[in-house]
Structure 1
Amino acid sequence: MSDLIRAPGEARRRRPADGHGDALGTAAARAHARARPARARSGRWTAWAFLAPVLAYLVLFYAYPLYRNLDLSLRNYTVRSFVRGGAPFTGAKNYTTVVHDPIFVPALVHTMVFTLVSLAFQFTIGMGLAVFFSRHFRLSATLRALFLVPWLLPLIVSASTWSWMLNSDSGVVNAMLHRLGIGPVNWLTSPQWSLASVIIANIWIGVPFNLVVLYSGLQTIPVSLYEAAALDGANGWQRFWRVTFPLLRPVSAITLLLGLIYTLKVFDIIWIMTRGGPAGSSTTFATWSYRLGFGTLLPSFGPGAAVGNLLIVIALVFGLLYIRLQRRRQSI
């Protein structure tokens, strides 16, 4: 019996003596060690294969256009050199030309006014509509879908419609003002009203975007918080300022940032309705850049690209400010 009990132990003690088991274990370990780098390389190639389409898209449609625009702004391009190449390098001369141009300050002011006023009204109206539709009354989904129509229409259609509505002679807006006993307003041909006209059209187009994003943010707020606030005696206005608005702050921040970037580069609406006039009264950086680069028989590609780069810098500054505010909020 003792021999039987000792047998397995002795077998285990005798097994290394022949060296066969050790050889098999060592070979398996070496094979596993060789296979590990191969699997790692295979995983890296797979990751690069998935990233390749994204990287190609970013290079072709973001990096290369930005590089070309920067190159345009640093050289004295003419139509001939634009086609054949060989434009002389001028450094920051195009930027100096743009800054000292008499149009620069009015265009900067118009860009800021157009952007800030549009953002303020788009966000305020969008927030009000989002809170209104969050009550889920009958036909709320249908009405919400109808409010998306301005956002879904092509910009050329929306701008052309507003041009017809604000026409001084045959526009429906002046017809309504006439019935109210108010004289006609030269919405698109008066320097006092042209900027306001394009702002009104842009607000109408941008409200649906704010409505959709803010409404989605409202759906993430628990109903129990509103019930608790109501039990504490808070009225509707107090529930909005103490519950809705603070919890909606991250969504509001990204909505304002995206709206800012979009509004800074608005070109279609202004160009179709007023072409930046009359007398430059509705000229922004976007329309000015287009006019410099493509709006004349002798285009100024360098200054036009410089104005476009200034728009990019403005948007980048606000984007970095948003990132900094987000990091500060997360660290608190």
Structure 2
Amino acid sequence: MSTTLDSGPVAPARPVGARRDGHGRRPRRGTGRWAAFAFIAPAWLYVLGFYLYPLAGSVRMGFQDYTVSSFYTGVAPYVGWDNYTAVFHDSHFSRTVVNTVLFTAGSLAFQFAVGLALAVFFNRSFPLGGPLRSLLLIPWLLPLVVSGTAWRWILDTDSGVLNNLLLHLHLTDHPIPWLASTHDSLIAVTMVNIWVGIPFNMVILYGGLQSIPGELYEAAALDGAGAWNRFRHITLPMLRPVTAVVLTLGLIYTVKVFDVIMILTQGGPAGSSQTLTTYAYNLSFQQLEFGRGAAVGNLLILVAVVFAAVYLRSTREQRKAGR
């Protein structure tokens, strides 16, 4: 004996992706596109108004004879490459480029080395490790005006804490004019910039160390690898992507450092601590050569774009190789 159950007509299956709203209507295809555009538009307007428009104005100004009167009359004749030619033939330009290279290279090398050492140190667990690591972030969190002013007091020739400490420890027999000497001013501003940038390197590298599996170190230790071999053959290779990010961002930031140098030495004495950023400032707002100042600023932008492009290309190649 069999029983047949009649459940009535069966509704046809709805095609996958055919969503309906609360009233049973299908949304229009263009609705999603307009909604996405509405969310993206504010970001694009921000980039256009605060980045692309000023950048276009700076590039245009680099090819104009822009003077104080140009702000009132709006007349700034185009002079072609004359501003760049004048900058390249300036007697201070070559020294400024050398100072910028030394300042950038010295800052990156010591920031990365000290930051990596601190990251490795804090990668192990010990009491009060977290609070101590948080305290080391203070130089990075403080406004640069505050940091620069504090270091200006510390590096003062007569009453500075650093000179008094060096004299007390008999490491020198006379006060060092850190900010007033043509030989020591670049060292002083580089030292302060290293102090400011160490926390950033430490935080990023510490995050990279946390992502390395601990099993790799355990297996290496079982094979008899010492601390140095584990660091050389495991830590450094695994940190290569993070290292590329840290060095690239550090390079872009360091090339355009301005406030630390202006607060400490203003590029002096006699241009001994002047970099391309302070050089552009002096041309624009002290010598009132706005076209030449814009030309130097455009060179800085070009350097940053080149290194950013190199970084993006290297990361793209690493992703392809990983696949």
Whichever of the two has the greater Rg, that structure is: 1
Equivalent residue, structure 2, for 1:266 = 257
Alpha-carbon distance, 1:160 to partner = 0.9
* Alpha-carbon shift at residue 318 of structure 1 (Å): 1.0
> Which of 183, 186, 197 is the equivalent residue of 2:188?
197
Match of 1:302 in 2: 291
For residues 39 and 235 of structure 1, what CA distance do their matches in structure 2 show?
65
Q: Equivalents in 2 of 1:241, 1:165: separation in Å? A: 38
Matched, 1:290 2:281: yes
CA distance in 2, matches of 1:41, 1:79: 50
Alignment correspondent of 1:318: 307
Quote the Cα distance in structure 2 between the aligned partners of 1:277 and 1:164: 17
2:162 aligned with 1:173: yes
2:136 paired with 1:147: yes
- Equivalent residues, number: 295
Distance 2:92 2:135 in 1: 40
Structure 2 residue 246 is the aligned partner of structure 1 residue 255:
yes
- Partners of 2:213 and 2:269 lie apart in 1 by 51
Letter in 1 for 2:197: G
CA drift of 1:324 comes to: 2.2
Structure 1: distance between partners of 2:67 and 2:229: 61
User: CA offsets, 1:79-111, max 9 Å, x none?
Assistant: 111233121111111111111111110010100
- TM normalised by structure 2 equals 0.89
Give 1:65 shift: 0.8
Return 5+ residue gaps in structure 2 as ranges: 1-24
Say whether 1:232 aligns with 2:223. yes
Structure 1 gaps, min length 5: 1-34
Does residue 84 of the first structure (1) align with residue 73 of the second (2)? yes
1:93-138 Cα shifts (integer Å, max 9, x gaps): 1111111111110010100110011000000100010010010211
Distance 1:159 1:83 in 2: 36
Higher helix proportion, which one? 1
SS at 1:90's partner residue? coil
Aligned to 2:18: none
Deviation string, structure 1 residues 46-85 (Cα, Å, up to 9, x no partner) = 1100110110111011100101111111111111112331
Structure 2 Cα separation of the partners of residues 180 and 198 of structure 1: 23
Percent identity over paired residues: 54
Structure 1 counterpart of 2:157, which letter?
S
Moved over 6 A (4+): none
Which of the numbers 47, 52, 62 marks the counterpart of 1:58?
47
1:278 equivalent in alignment to 2:269: yes
Counterpart Cα distance in 2 of 1:87 and 1:94: 13
Secondary structure class of the residue paired with 2:28 = helix
Separation of aligned partners in 2, 1:263 and 1:162: 18
The TM-score, its normalising length taken from structure 1, stands at 0.87
- TM-fit CA distance, 1:42: 0.8
